[in-house]
Chains A and B, each alone.
Chain A
């Protein structure tokens, strides 16, 4: 079977803090229509299978997969939902194409975070019901613990973490699809209230609503559909211990292992030289630093310093989160990984307008499922 798989179409809608004029179905439809037009496919005729990602408690509906087919053109087709991040969905779609049974597969993820009125309480329900939840702590506490340990182990400073927020929110100013572009100073970021020390308010990304759909195809089909296929070189995903009591707090082991799997598939032995730019998790500012190190894109413990020195700026050696990341675009819940992948696709196709990076061939997208999980996924793409 043709081993190579490409992303041949992408579409998105929303990316605002509220989207009151549309229901989640209508938001999904808007993204899907764009993706299908971009790919030049008719879902009823051409798309063989569909994958969506969603968590019931984010939607407020159990067995949420029930409500996904109609607006994606997937009725009476093989369709399933993964309780995971958008990159898990992308990996599943990739595997489906590689089985040789499906030539074109679509993947979808969305966020209607604005509709979740008690989100902190719901997030707290992801904590262990017997051992952790009775402590009645806001779930950010887990990020606080992790950030503290990470700073301790690597010698990274609070200023270096704040630099991530400054960079990403400024990057977002050049991204019309980013809800939270801002020109902040380090002092402003550091001066914000502590949520779960050492984590401060401004270092936590705000939520946004949005939907993203991508269309994948076999090499043969991709060449027929588009002049700019974006090849999937490798995918990886990993879940570390869900239990807080036996975690490796300083390192993002899930990211390291997920990346390792993806690098092996891509035949990449030296990520630092092979990867031209990256979109990584920055749900909390320190996460970008921790992820970069876990992904092997920078030497261990050096991410903070490199950020301070501008190495991850759009004009640096390794542009990171040129889109603005979650800090700048908003935390899109389970669709966050697809937002990271979306930027990589758009950049590799040369369609990023004012934030277009030059001479890029290989990009990496990475996501994390958020507190209290230790799960994440990686996708490596090239043009």
Chain B
């Protein structure tokens, strides 16, 4: 195959071709608005966030505590209805220093996304969030961190009610 064929189809264009109007193009923006029902489990999670608390759920069968809570344990398929308040502290399981926004804008100060294993949940059970109040060079896997919450009045019942997690330094609460 590849030995016999010399010319493969596919014509390459550049951004300049489009900017220069050498190629016809059409622009359109989609309005895709959704109002997702949060349901029982995530609904409780969000309500707890509004109260300044991270909620997990415990499976009596597997004896695992998971976060965020869910209605069914994916491992044993038994229903989960034991909601468990967790700490708002945890350990950094992994992190990154990201110099590009979600829509590919370059930024100088990196965003620091991390998976944070939440204290009170089973090992390796964490949530995605961001780190703050830390020099990017200092971030380490295994660091202990604590949530920094929005002021009570500003909380909406959303994951962003936690602004970010900051390192817990020696002697700090």
Contact = CB atoms under 8 A, between A and B. Distances in A.
Looking at chain B's contact residues, the main secondary structure is loop
Contacts of A125: 30, 32
A129 B37 contact: no
Interface footprint category on B: 20 to 34
Contacts, number: 73
A60 B36 contact: yes
B32 A118 contact: yes
Contact of B71 (A44, A71, A121): A71
Nearest to B26: A130
A75 interface: yes
Nearest to A71: B72
A309 to B, nearest CB: 44
A181 B34 CA distance: 27
A25 B79 CA distance: 13
B159 to A, nearest CB: 15
B76 A22 contact: no
A112 interface: yes
B127 interface: no
B34 A121 contact: no
Nearest to B25: A130
Contacts of A43: 77
A70 interface: yes
Contact of B28 (A29, A42, A129): A129
B72 A115 contact: no
B84 interface: no
Contacts of A1: none
A70 B77 CA distance: 8
Given A121-B32, A122-B32, A129-B28, A70 B74 contact: yes
Interface string B18-47: 000000001010111111111111110000
Contact of A121 (B26, B30, B72, B75): B30
Contact of A117 (B30, B33, B71): B33
B2 to A, nearest CB: 30
Given A71-B71, A71-B72, A75-B74, A112 B37 contact: yes
A43 B73 CA distance: 13
B36 A121 contact: no
A70 B35 contact: no
A50 interface: no
A24 B36 CA distance: 8
A116 interface: yes
A112 B77 CA distance: 23
A25 B39 contact: yes
B70 interface: yes
Residue of B28, B39, B40, B42 ringed by the most chain A CB atoms within 10 A: B39
A25 B77 contact: no
A301 interface: no
B72 A21 contact: no
B32 A57 contact: yes
B72 A19 contact: no
Contact of A44 (B30, B38, B76): B76
Nearest to A60: B34
Given A44-B77, A130-B26, A115 B34 contact: yes
Interface in A22-39: 22-26, 29
Contact of B38 (A23, A73, A130): A23
Contacts of B74: 69-71, 73, 75
A354 interface: no
A19 B40 CA distance: 12
B70 A75 contact: no
22 contacts: A20-B37, A22-B39, A24-B39, A42-B77, A43-B77, A60-B32, A69-B74, A70-B70, A70-B74, A75-B74, A114-B37, A115-B35, A115-B36, A115-B37, A117-B33, A117-B34, A117-B35, A118-B31, A118-B32, A121-B30, A125-B32, A134-B26
Closest 5 CB pairs of A and B: A23-B39, A60-B34, A70-B74, A117-B33, A73-B77
Given A115-B34, A129-B26, 8 more contacts: A26-B40, A60-B34, A60-B36, A71-B74, A75-B75, A117-B35, A118-B31, A130-B26
